Amino acid sequence: MSKVWDMAGYWFSLHHLLQEISEPDSEPNNMKKIAIFTSGGDSPGMNACVRAAVRAAVYYNIEIYGIRRGYTGMIKGDIVMLDSKAVSNTVQRGGTILKSARSEEFRTPEGRKKAYEQLTALGIEGLIAIGGNGTFTGSDIFYNEYGIPTVGAPGTIDNDLYGTDYTIGFDTAVNTALDAIDKIRDTADSHDRIFFIEVMGRDSGYIAIQSGIGGGAELVMVPETNSSIEEVIETLKGGWNRLKTSSIIVVAEGEDEGGAIAVSNRVKKHVPYADIRVTTLGHIQRGGSPSAYDRILSSRLGVAAVEGLMQGRKNVMAGIINNEVVYTPFKETITLKKPIHPDLIRLVNILSV
């Protein structure tokens, strides 16, 4: 529990930092050519963000190029010019029209040199990176080596980035998980079964906690708290004592006790009479048409990324905190941890009584 309360400090320090980090660190510039790419795991809303950035660039008379497959395309020079029409009919589409990849070559100085040469050959003056932690780590290194200003937009279903309340795709992923949990609950109830449902999130429990609360889970296991197998068994026994015949336990893939299969196997040994099943939701959480929330978030951040570059911002991520656009240095987004609000963790316990 103490781990949870330690996290409360985050909200105060974040609030304190807002003023400091929202000021541009140089004069507005007259950028005329920029490029945009999506990188790392795709997320619903990436297209809406690309579309917004392209339309904003056109609006401000800036030429904009699309780099395909993230850093891989940057190294290979797989770069195409975009216009307003190129992004028509994309706001509602899942995935990324620019495609995505995780590039090993960009991790090497030689790879980054090739990327720089490709960009300078086209006269690219600024970059917009849509991705997560790995993407911004690459951007930070690249900026420090070659100085091309980059503004990021947080594109990941994991919602694990410091500097924004929500990341692009998180809301849709939670809704996808919820839809699946509702369906599983129907069959769990019919057969008096216990289901362990594993959701994505890498090292973060955001998808788990929100889909667990929304889906009425009896317990949610996330890496941010100290869950234990004993706690799972106690919760199940408590439910049986209250004549609950079925239960849903949501397990974040990054949970310290292991994923849903590992946890369920250990629990089974202690309650062999329970009828237990496991479902891993997997990549369905990454696809699908973005929710209304994600489309609007993505649109705001796409425009904010272009405007950030125009204002002379560099090496920062555009995010939204308390409904305001905020720019946070990549260094902070990649090193600082965004904890789950303690209230959400409390809610699970209260609501499953």
Site for ligand F6P (CB under 6 A): which residue of 155, 201, 212, 290?
201
Q: Which is nearer to ligand F6P, 95 or 238 (CB)?
A: 95
* CA proximity to 286, closest of 212, 230, 207, 214: 207
Q: Which one of residues 202, 268, 277, 341 is an interface residue with ligand F6P (CB under 6 A)? A: 202
CB of 41 to ligand F6P, least distance (A): 3
b (16+ CB within 10 A) / e for 184-195:
bbeebeeeebbb
Stretch binding ligand F6P (CB under 6 A), from 47-55, 65-73, 198-206, 228-236 = 198-206
Q: Which of 140, 158, 160, 165 is catalytic?
A: 158
List the x/- string, 216-255, binding to ligand F6P by CB under 6 A. -------------------------------------x--
Residues 114-133 that bind ligand F6P (CB under 6 A): 132
Candidate list 130, 168, 184, 200; residue touching ligand F6P; CB under 6 A: 200
The two beta strands, 79-82 and 316-321, are unpaired
Query: Least distance in Å: CB of 198 to ligand F6P?
Result: 11
For ligand F6P, the closer CB: 204 or 235: 204
Angle, CA 304 vertex, CA 209 and CA 129 arms, to 5°: 70
Minimum CB separation of residue 224 from ligand F6P in Å reads 15
Give whichever of 201 and 329 is closer to ligand F6P, judged by the CB atom: 201
Q: Considering beta carbons, is residue 157 or 194 the nearer one to ligand F6P?
A: 157
Binding marks (x or -) toward ligand F6P, 157..176, rule CB under 6 A? xx------------------
Give helix 260-270 / helix 229-241 axis angle, nearest 10°: 60
Q: 160 catalytic, yes or no?
A: no
- The structure tokens listed for 306 are 């272009």
317, β-bridge pairs: 152, 328
| 94 interacts with ligand F6P by CB under 6 A | no
CB of 12 to ligand F6P, least distance (A): 28
Q: Which amino acid is at 234?
A: E
Which among 92-100, 194-202, 225-233, 326-334 is the span making contact with ligand F6P, rule CB under 6 A?
194-202
Distance CA 248, CA 304 (A): 40
For the CB of residue 158, give the shortest distance to ligand F6P in the complex, in Å. Answer: 5
* Contacting ligand F6P within 19-78 (CB under 6 A): 41
Residue with Cβ nearer ligand F6P (68 or 314): 68
**Bridge partners, 279 (sequence order):** 197
Query: Residue 303's closest CA among 12, 58, 43?
Result: 58
Helices (H), the chain: 2-6, 8-21, 46-59, 70-76, 109-122, 133-146, 170-191, 206-214, 229-241, 260-270, 292-310, 330-335, 342-351
In whole angstroms, the minimum distance from the beta carbon of 203 to ligand F6P comes to 8
CB-based contact 65:37 (threshold 8 Å): no
Among the residues of 215-259, which ranges form H helices?
229-241
Q: Segment near ligand F6P (CB under 6 A), from 70-78, 92-100, 195-203, 243-251?
A: 195-203
Q: What are phi and psi of 320, to 5 degrees?
A: -125, 120
Cα gap 142→132, rounded to integer Å? 15
156 contacts ligand F6P (rule: CB under 6 A): yes
Q: Which is nearer to ligand F6P, 56 or 98 (CB)?
A: 98
Q: x/- binding map, residues 263-292, to ligand F6P, per CB under 6 A?
A: -----------------------x------
Q: How far is CA 4 from CA 222, 310, 322, 344, in A?
A: 11, 40, 21, 10
d(CA 89, CA 69): 20
Q: Which residues make up the interface to ligand F6P (CB under 6 A)?
A: 41, 132, 156-158, 200-202, 253, 286
Positions annotated as catalytic residues are 158
